[in-house]
Amino acid sequence: MTWLGAIAAAALGIAATPALAQTVNAGDVKLGVDAWARGDYAAAVDKWRPSALAGDPDAQFNLGQAYKLGRGVPLDATAAQDWFLKAARQGHQQAEDNYGLALYTVGRKSDAVPWLEKSVARGEARAELVLGTMLFNGDGVARDVPRAYSLMTLASQKGLKSASETLAQMDQYISSGDREKGVRLLSGTTQPAPKPEPAPAPVKVAAAKPPAPAKVARATAKPKFDGAWRIQLGAFRDRANAESMWK
């Protein structure tokens, strides 16, 4: 793994107060959300599992998060990935985000690209960091330094510390021409360069240590954005519903 790759992988461990929400036609999912909010993770899983097995994408996503965090069930990254995929195939956006990041984490980088592109199209900062890193290194995808710089800038602007650190490293190694192209991409005035370029010298960046996960908030909590990227734990089919939890 490259040094830039290491910092991207470390960023995937960042956690913050998870947001929980109910679904429209799934009373058991709401009961599971309520149980999770009061710290009864096993009860939450018991409520979500039947709905997840019946095909509810929100329950599938929540169950995937339970396995990812090891709360209410044994820690199981494979099971988490399977549940994220089930929900992602139904268009659950948070599941798409988590599935793409999970594929990257286990080394399936080429497989991760289509899912990361979906997330990047929605402005998901972690995906911008990871795909930007891959594009910079030509790791699992054709090398594209200007677009890598553009994506890393977007992630940094959203307050993702790891992206800001990586962007500073990129600035030391890329040409002024690539930097200018990346800046133009931010305003949509040009398209990513189609031809890969020679690899630059390795960039040595120490992997960032993720902060300890914060205590889970109740479903009605309205956490304040503190500049760190938040990994939501909840049940949102679209970005508008997710964003409403932070207002």
Over the stretch 159-205, which tens digit does the pLDDT of each residue have? 999 999 999 999 999 999 999 999 999 987 444 444 444 444 444 33
Task: List, in sequence order, every residue forming a beta bridge with 23; answer none if it has no partner.
Answer: 26
What does the mean pLDDT of the chain come to? 77
CA distances from 27 to 21, 23, 185, 187 (A): 11, 8, 45, 44
Q: What is the CA radius of gyration of the chain?
A: 18
Residues near 186 by Cβ (< 8 Å), separated by ≥ 6?
150, 153, 154
Q: What is the pLDDT of residues 108-126, one digit of tens each?
A: 999 999 999 999 999 999 9
- Taken as a whole, the chain contains a residue count of 247
Is there a contact between 205 and 152 (Cβ–Cβ < 8 Å)? Answer: no
Q: What is the pLDDT of residue 27?
A: 78
**Residue 118: closest CA among 109, 137, 136, 131:** 131
Phi, psi dihedrals of residue 26, rounded to the nearest 5°: -140, 85
* Residue 127 in tokens: 């995906």
For the domain made up of 3-209, give the CATH fold.
1.25.40
3-state secondary structure of 104: helix
DSSP 228: S
How many angstroms from the chain centroid is the CA of residue 104?
A: 10
- Of the candidate ranges 6-10, 111-115, 142-146, 242-246, the one whose mean pLDDT is the lowest: 242-246
pLDDT for 53 beyond 90? yes
Q: What is the pLDDT of residue 187?
A: 84
Give percent above pLDDT 90 in the chain. 64
Instruction: For the chain, give every domain's residue range.
Output: 3-209
Task: List, in sequence order, every residue forming a beta bridge with 26; answer none if it has no partner.
Answer: 23
Q: What is the pLDDT of residue 155?
A: 96
Q: What is the pLDDT of residue 132?
A: 97
pLDDT for 97 beyond 70? yes
pLDDT for 61 beyond 60? yes
